Each structure stands twice: as structure tokens, then as C-alpha cells.
Amino acid sequence: MLFWLSGLAVALLTGVAVSAYLWWIRRRNDEIAAGLHALSGLRWREFSRLVLSALERRGMVVVAAAPDETRDPRGIFPLTRDGQRWLLSCKHGSAYRIGAAPVEELAANVRLGNATGGILATEGQLEQEGRVAAQGHNIEVLDGPRLWAELAPLVETDLREQIVGQAAARAKRHIAIGWLGSITLGALMATTLANSGFGAADSTATIAPPPQKPAAASASADVVAYREPTEAELQEQRLAVSRALSGTPGVVRGVWQTRLTLSVDYQGDETAIWPRICQQVELYPALRTVRVQLNPPAGSKEPVRWRQCKTI
């Protein structure tokens, strides 16, 4: 029975390691990614107000009114703290890759405005050249995970709970798959040791182990079933959805604002058009939880809405 104990030890160790990674690291990363995706779906004015509110929690005070929706998103917000002047620049959109140019632009405004320093906020990512430029000009960059940590307490409670719940559900599902794989690995190791004669001195080692191949095959099939498409495959799927929506009754057009935000212009009754949109989106499992921005016809009093066809 020594080989069965070895297989059990391998299964337990592997299962615990995979579970720890998925829960403490992957779940957190998924939560951050979903949070940034939700922020990218906001209008620029809503996003900038959240950032200003977060900075006010630091003790900063806005000394100029926030711009309206028509203002250029590259606008600068003057702030003060302890008698010192700071400038805030918001780069809205998760697709942003911040290089040296936006940082240098903000640094120039800091110098011209006799400010102490600047803050650049974006849901995107600061590249290495931008990081070097920021360090040389007293520019603080709130990008990606750092930005979500600042804004998460200010996001609507329902939305924040949805983001956390979806990340936890995804982690639990993957943990279950991980345990199936761990059990399969342990069974295969035990079978291999038994066939190699390991532990033959143990009189019980000659007892044939219960059949494990069906469970292994089932677990492997489950793992394959959850394979996520590559970025190239996702791009093809997004293009296919846009093409299909262009010919859907009631839909004017469907374009992707970001990788996870589908903007749909429609005409007519939203309740009748929404199932047609979901019918196209749900053809691709990886896109079923994307955020859909519903834009009413021009001149309509209906507000812009954000919905999801499926939740995790």
C-alpha cells in the first residue's frame, strides 16, 4: 500500500498548492481585472470624479470645477494639499499604454504652473520608459492595480460586490478542476509505482488497485473543456459578433470600445432588441460576460445602459 500513500501525498500537495495559488493570487488578479474593466466602461467625467474623490481622501482639495463631458479628456485638474499645488491628469481607458510622452506633457504643465508635482491616473499600464520619466519629474502614476486599490472603496456597493463575487466563483470553479487534476496525477503516480514493483515487500502491494482510467479521462476532458481561447481567437470572435450585429434588426452597429466592452447603437424597443444582441454574444463562451453598453437613438430621452447577457 506504500505506492497508494505516495499517490495520495502527491494529490494532496498538488491540490493544496494549486488551490492556494488560485485563491490568493489568481482570484485577486481576476478581481482587479474586472474592476478595471468596470472603470473603463464609465464616462470620462465619471471616471475623473472617482479619481478626484480618491485624492480628496488623501487630503487634497480641488481648486477648480471638474470639466463637463465635452471637455478634452487630457484636461488638467489643479489640486492643493498643505499649501502645495498639484496637478492631476486622467488618461481614461484600459487600452492605454503610458510611455514617456504623457508623463513629459504633465511634467511641462507642472513646471509652467509652479506646482510641486503631478499625478497621472489611468486604468492602463505604465511602460518602462514612462516609469523612468515619472521618477525624474516627481510624477506619481496610478495605473492598473494601484488605481483599483485607490478607487475600489468608492465604487458602487452593488458593482463592487458583483466584481468580488464573480472573481470568487471563477476561483472556486478552477480550484475544483485543479483538484480533479491533482487526484488524477496522484492516481497515475500510484499506478506507475505499482506497475514498477515499488513496495513489493509489502504483502498488500499485490492487490489490484481500483480502476482509475475513467476518472482520469473525465478529469482531463473537464480541463480541456475549460481551455480559454487565445487573444487572436478572441479578436476573431469579437469581429464575428460585430458583423452579426450589423445585420440584426433594430441594431445600428456594434463596436468594441475595449476588449471587454461592446458598445451597441440601437433603434426601437430595447426589450425586444436585447435578446437578439445576447443571441449573438452567447455564441462564444469567452464573451458571454462582456459588458454591453446600450446607446439609445439620437434625441431619445432613454439613458445609456450597461448590461451583461450572462454572469459568472
Q: What is the DSSP string of 36-97?
A: HHHHHTS-HHHHHHHHHHHHHHTT-EE-SPPP-TTS-TT-EEEEEETTEEEEEEEE--TT-E
Q: Which residues, other chains included, contact 282 with Cβ-Cβ below 8 Å and sequence gap of 6+?
A: 288, 309, 310
Q: pLDDT by residue (tens digit) across 198-246?
A: 544 444 444 455 555 554 444 444 444 556 788 888 888 888 888 888 8
Buried/exposed code over 129-153 (b: 16+ C-beta within 10 A; e: otherwise)? ebbebbeeeebebbbbbebbebbbe
% of residues, the chain, pLDDT over 90 = 28
**Separation CA 117–CA 126 (nearest Å):** 18
CA distances from 207 to 44, 184, 192, 210 (A): 69, 20, 14, 9
Looking at residue 297, what DSSP letter applies? P
User: Which amino acid, one-letter code, is at 300?
Assistant: S
Give the pLDDT of residue 206. Answer: 46
pLDDT of the residue at 305? 83
> Could you give the residue ranges of the DSSP H alpha helices within the chain?
2-21, 27-40, 44-57, 100-112, 128-136, 144-151, 157-195, 213-225, 231-246, 270-281
Q: Is 34 exposed, middle or buried (0-12, 13-18, 19+ CB in 10 A)?
A: buried
The answer on pLDDT for 23 being more than 80 is yes
Over the stretch 259-295, which tens digit does the pLDDT of each residue have?
Answer: 788 888 888 888 888 888 898 888 888 888 888 888 8
CB distance 40 to 46 below 8 Å: no
pTM (2 d.p.): 0.52
Note the pLDDT of residue 99. Answer: 85
